[in-house]
Amino acid sequence: MNPALRKTVIAGNWKMHKTPAEAKALLGELLPLVKDAACQVIVCVPFVDLPAALEAAAGTCVAVGAQNCHWETSGAFTGEISPAMLTSMGVSHVILGHSERRTYFGETDQTVNRRLRAALQAGLCPIVCVGESLEQRQQGITQEFVSMQVKIALQGVSREELRRVTFAYEPIWAIGTGRTATAEQAGEVCAGIRATLAALYGKECAQGTTIQYGGSMNAGNAAELLAQEDVDGGLIGGASLKAPDFAAIVAAAR
């Protein structure tokens, strides 16, 4: 990370965990532990937990995000939530293109692009996830594949809008597997994403963009990953569900 150039952001991705009552309890435990955070802290919670999380986090340094949103403002899209619905509640952030959505729910680079443009238009700050499969890594196409994901996601996104976008490099083989990318692997791909951004928007914009690492990040490996110049934070799944573990990662981001 390089706090002189860009924000360091530690975000929790709760996935499909915690009822509203459990969300309130987890935040009650977490908030005192991260009150002196030196980085930005976000919790991305299930849709039904948003009211409880927003209430608990009000007036604190912790921002609340959702884990997906649709590209239309309203309409016949059963089961979907629009960006305007999120902003109307006071939600500031949204995860887009998580590999679980790509794998299980038919998300493509094109739908990620549509969601990203709509989220930006509504005023949200999106966290866009990219990352290769194990097979792609073994084939030696990681950088090309991730660069393509970044380029398609950003079609039609202006330089001004890019300021609100965070990227999360999440190698699929490292998510929820306990198998973390080495700090060097994480640093290398995050640097590659920055190079892609520089080619699209210029060096200055690229240097100002936060690029997180995600995939089995925990209290034990966070400091080493964050020591990489181009790793500007983390998107944390499993370890974000335990307040002391998540707080330890936040503390490592100094």
Instruction: State which residue, 84 or 247, has the beta carbon closest to ligand PGA.
Output: 247
How far is 112 from 101, CA to CA, in rounded Å?
10
Tell me if 9 sits within 8 A of 44, measured CB to CB.
Answer: no
CA separation for the pair 57, 115 (Å, rounded): 26
Q: How many residues bind ligand PGA (CB under 6 A)?
A: 13
Q: Are 48 and 17 in contact (CB under 8 A)?
A: no
Binding-site member from 214, 230, 233, 247 for ligand PGA (CB under 6 A): 214
Spatial contact of 98 and 149, defined as CB atoms under 8 Å apart: no
- Between CA 164 and CA 243 the distance in angstroms is 27
Neighbouring CB atoms inside 10 A of 63's CB total: 20
> What residues form DSSP beta bridges with 233?
9
Q: Residue 236, interface with ligand PGA (CB under 6 A)?
A: yes
- Cβ 5 vs Cβ 197: under 8 Å: no
The residue among 13 and 40 lying less far from ligand PGA, judged by its C-beta, is 13
Q: Which is nearer to ligand PGA, 34 or 175 (CB)?
A: 175
Q: Which of 70, 93, 98, 132 is catalytic?
A: 98
> Binding mask 160-199 vs ligand PGA (x if CB under 6 A, - otherwise)?
----------x----xx-----------------------
User: Which range, of 34-42, 63-71, 80-88, 230-238, touches ligand PGA by CB under 6 A?
Assistant: 230-238
Applying CB under 6 A, among 238, 247, 249, 252 the residue interacting with ligand PGA is 238
- CB-hemisphere CA count at 13 Å for 161? 17
Q: What share of the chain is helix, strand, coil (3-state, %, to 5)?
A: 45, 15, 40
Which residue lies nearer to ligand PGA by CB, 82 or 216? 216
- Residues, the chain: 254
Is there a catalytic annotation at residue 93?
no
Question: 218 near 244, Cβ under 8 Å?
Answer: no
- Report which DSSP code applies to 173: G
Question: Is 70 part of the annotated catalytic residue set?
Answer: no
Q: Which of 100, 107, 132, 170 is catalytic?
A: 170
Q: Which is nearer to ligand PGA, 101 or 194 (CB)?
A: 101
Instruction: Indicate the residue whose CB is closest to ligand PGA.
Output: 237
Any idea what the Cα angle at residue 106 is, between residues 100 and 109, rounded to 5°? 85
State which of positions 10-69 bind ligand PGA (CB under 6 A).
13
Closest separation in Å from C-beta 212 to ligand PGA: 9
Stretch near ligand PGA under the rule CB under 6 A, chosen from 2-10, 16-24, 208-216, 223-231:
208-216
Residues in contact with ligand PGA by CB under 6 A are 13, 170, 175-176, 214-217, 235-239
Residues tagged active-site: 98, 170
